[in-house]
Amino acid sequence: MVGVLAACQSGPQTKTVKKMKIIIDTDANNELDDQHALAYAFLNNDVFDVVGVTVNNTANGYGLQGQYDEAKRIIQLFDLEEKLPLFFGADSTYDVIVPHINEAQFDGQAAVDFIISEAMKVKDEKLVLAPIGKLTNIALALAKEPSIANKIRIVWLGSNYPNPGEYNLVNDVSSVNPVIESGAPFEMVTVRYGDSTATDAVRVTPAEVEEFLAGKGPVSQNTITGRHGGEFNSFGNYSKDLFDHAKMHGYPPSRALFDMVVLAVLKNPAWGTKHEIPAPKLINHAWVEQPGNSQKIIYWDQFDRDAIVNDLFSLMEKTTPKQ
């Protein structure tokens, strides 16, 4: 995948736009938003230079292998299996793994070493790390090679900040403060379940899935077996199957695309509101403000649901083969 795109031409001058180098770190088999985040990144191949995907294990997902297998399915549906590396990451949590970080082998090593290697390559840009699961792989990479803090930008789908809780956070509370305290640029794309101010509001309905996703998007040379069975050769049809199974298990009539919002605001920061604050500390699962802290972090909220969702629908339509 190339890193520079000829974006527009004006007379004899050609303007080039550099793609954003990014690693997506995912618990892909947790529910259905990770898959849409990966697909959205691949559909935006004029914006993102996805250099690799790493996985981590959280409570829902049928183990680390299940997380890996689901990420691989999405990669295959976009015919990227031979181009895009995929690595196993942490199964356990930061506090359990970090004492072993300098051993010849440790839990999460493949993902951690890949993150470090890619970060060390960048010179006049930052490698964007987009963790859309727990922060374990990122925290371990910073612990093993602290110098990468100056080479990366971390944009995490996580936390209900300023309130406690949230799935990605609670799956490895021990990883949060080490990432913040590393000094690496750190941004939280907030979740806030049941609240219209954060990613929980970026929802799609079954009717929208049927109209704008089912049967849409590029057709793959691969046919995959979905995590619920069935065979698929397009992300649009697989998306519908994921939503159908979520509905069968009693989920509400609309579903949030939490993780995809990270990629959306990286593409267009105007689709959310960002706030720079003194870096807080997570103590006993609660955020404790540190007003005098000279180190700053960013949190995001107030997302433009319609712009984000319609961008996904538009990309799927544009990449649908013409009959």
In terms of pTM, does the model score above 0.85?
A: yes
Q: Which residue has the tokens 């792989």?
A: 137
Q: Which phi and psi (to 5°) does residue 245 adopt?
A: -70, -35
* Angstrom distance (rounded) from CA 195 to CA 16: 40
Q: Is residue 53 part of a domain?
A: yes
Per DSSP, the residues of 187-211 read EEE---TT-TTSGGG-EE-HHHIII
Over residues 254-272, the pLDDT tens digits come to 899 999 999 999 999 999 9
Measured CA to CA, the distance from residue 196 to residue 110 in angstroms comes to: 38
Say which range, 16-20, 166-170, 189-193, 258-262, has the weakest mean pLDDT: 16-20
Please provide the average confidence, as pLDDT, over all residues in the chain.
93
**Which of 96, 73, 82, 78 is CA-nearest to residue 26?**
73
Whether the pLDDT of residue 149 is over 50: the answer is yes
Residue 249: CB atoms within 10 A of its CB come to 7
80: CATH? 3.90.245.10
In-domain check, residue 290: yes
Q: Which domain holds residue 144?
A: 18-197+254-301
Task: Provide the pairing of β-strand 186-189 with 203-204.
Answer: unpaired
Is residue 220 in some structural domain?
no
pLDDT at 202 over 70: yes
C-alpha pair distances (Å), 190 with each of 93, 106, 117, 254, 298 = 21, 31, 29, 19, 10
Rounded distance between C-alpha atoms, residue 140 and residue 160, angstroms: 23
What residues does 188 pair with on adjacent strands?
156, 299
Could you tell me if residue 211 is inside a domain? Answer: no
Count of structural domains, the chain: 1
Q: Does residue 99 fall inside a structural domain?
A: yes
